[in-house]
Amino acid sequence: MTRPYHVIIFGATGFTGQFVVEEVARTAAEGPGGAPLKWAVAGRSRQRLEDVLGRAAGRLTDIEIIVADVSIEESLAIMCQQGLVILNCVGPYRFYGEPVVKACVENGAHYLDICGEPQFLERMQLEYHTKALDRGVYVIGSCGFDSVPADLGVLYTQRQFKGTLTAVESFLKISSGPEGFSGHDATWQSAVYGFADSGSLRQLRKKFGHTPLPVVGAKVKKSREIEQYAIPFMGSDPSVVKRTQRFLYEEQQQSPVQYSAYVGVGGLFSVVKLFCSGLLFWFMVKFSLGRKLLTMFPSFFSFGMFSKSGPTTKQIEDTCFSLTFFGEGYSESTDPSQGRPNAKICTQVVGAEPGYVVTVSTLVQAAVTLLDELHSLPRRGGVYTPGAAFYKTSLIDRLQNHSVKFSVRHCE
């Protein structure tokens, strides 16, 4: 331990950052090697950081405060020099993420975030993987609900399948109470700017120069097991899972799995409402005035699904998720090059409210795993997905004890 803190929470005054503070405080006894976790909070305003610590359960008035601002490079360097792992909770990451990644790489601090923005995640891999590898620093994005359940869920399914798994579809269902499900404005902003700039993501991917991954077995298509009213999931999961599968294919010579993700949208009325709001959203994100209106009035344009105040405590308590994986492949005695897949598997990842309970739990457990099992991570540094970084660690087992459950289900 050459630095004063195991973990520094950057952006601790933000909506999600405050939940991360609470989670770190709850799990502080589970530090590396069973020792207490030494941690601090960081952000632009000392007064606001003091307020967050004062409101936290147990009034965490003895926790150290570090003043740091994404616009002041020197402050980020000072912060990164004091911690082994930086938990970056400052989004949208396309605007505020890169200075923190850069500071971590240059000052030898490992970096984790809860980003669900494919363009940022993939650009950081393109621009910082070699630098991070040279410095012995791990940069691991999307360590929240985006996209740990999906990424590790596919790995879990691969491990439980007896044979060669070739394709997986996931179906996300979010259940909520009478007050409904709600997200914070910051997530909405990330979606607005991400969809507005989707063309740049296509150009970015060309720069990697990747050859297509080989397709083993039949090409994946929406199966009968997926509920009728489901649409393709537009978040970061497909991007993250595909990057993990490429890593496992290129670095571990594992057969790649095709992946498709869907999300349930309720009944016919919900489908109609989603279709209308989707058309309006796609039109408005193309223009600066439209984007401005979308970000100014998130509750109106998202039909109440996102708001500047975020979900209430009751909404969080009443919400949970299930992510079901339908996999197919070839049994142990079958040659994957011969005929169609002949075996199936069904697995499930379930947990509490995804945005502010599961996200903070997966982020903190990823940090503890990194600290405790650094020797099990690939290469000694670089930019990775959660699945690529943690596939040889005990992260899934740790999550089983922290509000995220993995299990094999009976296939219908």
The model's pTM is 0.94
Domain assignment present for 180: yes
Q: Do residues 231 and 275 both lie within one domain?
A: yes
Q: Give the other-Cβ count within 10 Å of 178's Cβ.
A: 7
Indicate the pairing of strand 163-175 with strand 320-331: antiparallel
Domain assignment present for 325: yes
Q: Are 280 and 301 in contact (CB under 8 A)?
A: yes
Q: For residue 70, give the CATH number of its domain.
A: 3.40.50.720
91 vs 102: CA distance, rounded Å = 15
> How far out from the chain centre does Cα 225 lie?
25
358 vs 360: CA distance, rounded Å = 6
Q: Number of helices and strands (H, E) in the chain? A: 17, 15
390 vs 373: CA distance, rounded Å = 9
Structure-model confidence comparison of residues 338 and 111, the more confident one: 111
Q: Which range marks the domain in which residue 250 is found?
A: 148-354
The model's pLDDT over 241-253, given as tens digits with 9 standing for 90+, comes to: 999 999 999 999 9
Q: Do residues 158 and 133 both lie within one domain?
A: no
Candidates 61, 65, 60, 55; CA nearest to 9 is 65
The model's pLDDT over 52-88, given as tens digits with 9 standing for 90+, comes to: 999 887 777 789 999 999 999 999 999 999 999 999 9
Q: Do residues 282 and 177 both lie within one domain?
A: yes
Residue 228's pLDDT band, with cuts at 50, 70 and 90, is low
H or E element that contains 80: helix 73-80
Residue 177 has pLDDT above 80, yes or no: yes
Q: Do residues 179 and 295 both lie within one domain?
A: yes
Beta sheet of 320-331, edge-to-edge order: 230-232, 258-264, 163-175, 320-331, 343-351, 404-409
- Phi and psi dihedrals of 215, rounded to 5? -100, 115
The secondary structure of residue 147, as a DSSP letter, is: B
140 vs 142: CA distance, rounded Å = 7
Residue percentage of the chain with pLDDT more than 90: 67
Q: What is the pLDDT of residue 221?
A: 67
Task: Report the number of distinct structural domains present in the chain.
Answer: 2
The model's pLDDT over 83-135, given as tens digits with 9 standing for 90+, comes to: 999 999 999 999 999 999 999 999 999 999 999 999 999 999 999 999 999 99
Q: Do residues 226 and 271 both lie within one domain?
A: yes
Domain assignment present for 399: no
Residue that the structure tokens 């090697």 belong to: 33
As beta bridge partners, residue 311 has none
Candidates 38, 36, 47, 39; CA nearest to 13 is 47
Q: Do residues 158 and 102 both lie within one domain?
A: no
Q: Do residues 236 and 300 both lie within one domain?
A: yes
**Residue 307: left if φ>0, alpha if ψ -120 to 50, beta else—which one?**
beta
Q: Do residues 346 and 370 both lie within one domain?
A: no
